Amino acid sequence: MYTLSWQPPYDWPWMLGFLAARAVEGVETVGEMSYARSLSVGGHRGLVRVVPDLHANVLLVTLSSGLQPVASECLAKITQLFDLSCCPQQIVSALGSLGAARPGLRLPGCVDAFEQGVRAILGQLVSVAMAAKLTAKVAHAYGDTLEDAPEYVCFPAPVALANANPLQLKALGMPLKRAEALIHLARATLEGTLATKAPADIEQGVKQLQTFPGIGRWTANYFALRGWQAKDVFLPDDYLIKQRFPGMTPAQIRRYAERWKPWRSYALLHIWYTDGWQPSVDGEITGIQ
């Protein structure tokens, strides 16, 4: 058993609910106050289970025997997935009234950038539930069964999808172009052209992602948000964001969001998950054209 600490407050019901809605059957299991998933790190495979201890403000982490040799890498991945390094007081101070109602909101990350890229591509133009179902089909078709927990499969490695037949991927229920995008992403990962860690220049990294087939501006920014866990990403042309800013163009929304630098990713989450939120009409946006 390992422990990872966090700074309170932490909204665990929200975080686990977010992950549950996107859980890939066979890869992840999300309970009311628990999370488990298969993991492959450097050729080592196993199961990781986490349970938050709300009184001690620590995450209790159990790794199966297959992951013990790479425990430190596994703990780093869990830290990123759950945004355990976040300083909520700093975020609330920067966001002001926007963050005051839900100071425990964290930025969901990922355990693997390639996996998150696959999820982002498969999530295009479909519901969250449909994206999770399609991702599960890909995982079961191209992932390996976990030996010490056969009810789980490991998410497919880049090499498995790099060599995939696009027509076979299409047969799982996706457009051919999307299948080809997955194969390109896998090959880019193997070649090192997909940044699996946050680059120093996030904006430039997002532009590079948009040169990949099948990855437009929204997908590239969403990948940066979760795959790199970039702290200062905003999506002014997101459908829900445009609803939250009625009558404003994406350029106007982008300018409004400047006030939340360098924590715009957290601002985005708060706006997404605060029903009825509206931008304030104040001097800061007067004259925006």
- Let me know whether 59 and 16 are in one domain: yes
Question: Residue 120 carries which side chain, given as an amino acid letter?
Answer: A
DSSP one-letter code for 174: S
pLDDT of residue 283: 41
- Let me know whether 240 and 222 are in one domain: no
Q: Is residue 121 part of a domain?
A: yes
Residue 260 predicted with pLDDT over 60:
yes
Among the listed residues 170, 171, 265, the one whose alpha carbon sits nearest the alpha carbon of residue 225: 265
Domain count, the chain: 3
Residue 29 predicted with pLDDT over 90:
yes
Task: Tell which of 70, 100, 130 closes a domain.
Answer: 100
pLDDT of residue 275: 87
DSSP conformation letters of 102-143: -TT------S-HHHHHHHHHHTTTS-HHHHHHHHHHHHHHHS
- Let me know whether 11 and 88 are in one domain: yes
- Let me know whether 138 and 91 are in one domain: no
pLDDT of residue 285: 42
Task: Tell which of 72, 100, 128 closes a domain.
Answer: 100
pLDDT of residue 288: 34
CB–CB of 59/53 below 8 Å?
Answer: yes
Question: Residue 185 carries which side chain, given as an amino acid letter?
Answer: L
What residues does 61 pair with on adjacent strands?
2, 50
The distance of Cα 187 from the centroid of its chain, to the nearest Å, equals 21
**Mean pLDDT value of segment 69-92:** 97
Mean pLDDT of the residues in the chain? 95
Specify the length of the chain in residues.
Answer: 289
State pLDDT tens for residues 124-147: 989 999 999 999 999 999 999 999
How many C-alpha atoms does 235 have within 13 Å on its Cβ side? Answer: 26
Quick check: is 282 catalytic?
Answer: no
Q: Is residue 107 part of a domain?
A: no
pLDDT of residue 139: 98
Three-state DSSP at 61 gives: strand
Dihedral through CA 206, CA 274, CA 250, CA 110, nearest 10?
10
CB–CB of 59/52 below 8 Å?
Answer: yes
Q: Is residue 259 part of a domain?
A: yes
φ, ψ of residue 251 to 5 degrees: the values are -65, -40
State pLDDT tens for residues 99-129: 998 999 999 999 999 999 999 999 998 999 9
Which strand ranges, in their side-by-side order, compose the sheet holding 44-53? 2-5, 58-63, 44-53, 34-41, 28-31
First-last CA distance in the chain: 56
Task: Tell which of 100, 135, 152 closes a domain.
Answer: 100
- Let me know whether 201 and 137 are in one domain: yes
**Mean pLDDT value of segment 176-185:** 98
| Catalytic residue (one of 11, 144, 238, 282) | 238
pLDDT band at 148 (very low <50, low <70, confident <90, very high): confident
Cα–Cα distance list, 54 to 73, 145, 242, 288 (Å): 24, 33, 36, 45
pLDDT band at 282 (very low <50, low <70, confident <90, very high): low
Taking the model in full, what pTM does it have?
A: 0.94
Three-state DSSP at 254 gives: helix
Percent residues over pLDDT 90 in the chain: 93
- Let me know whether 239 and 215 are in one domain: no
- Let me know whether 221 and 273 are in one domain: no
Contacts of residue 155, defined as CB under 8 A and 6 or more positions apart, other chains included, come to 24, 27, 38, 40, 112, 115, 118, 139, 143
Q: Is residue 261 part of a domain?
A: yes
Q: Is residue 105 part of a domain?
A: no
Q: Is residue 106 part of a domain?
A: no
- Let me know whether 88 and 52 are in one domain: yes
- Let me know whether 220 and 125 are in one domain: yes
Separation of alpha carbons 181 and 176, rounded Å: 9
Q: Provide the residue range defining the domain that includes 6.
A: 2-100
Q: Is residue 190 part of a domain?
A: yes
- Let me know whether 120 and 221 are in one domain: yes
- Let me know whether 127 and 220 are in one domain: yes
Among the listed residues 52, 106, 53, 48, the one whose alpha carbon sits nearest the alpha carbon of residue 77: 48
Residue 284 predicted with pLDDT over 80:
no
What is the number of other CB atoms lying within 10 angstroms of the CB of residue 99? 22
Which has more confidence, 83 or 283? 83
CATH number at residue 154: 1.10.340.30
Q: Is residue 215 part of a domain?
A: yes
Helix (H) or strand (E) holding 63: strand 58-63
CATH number at residue 255: 1.10.1670.10
CB–CB of 180/162 below 8 Å?
Answer: no
- Let me know whether 222 and 149 are in one domain: yes
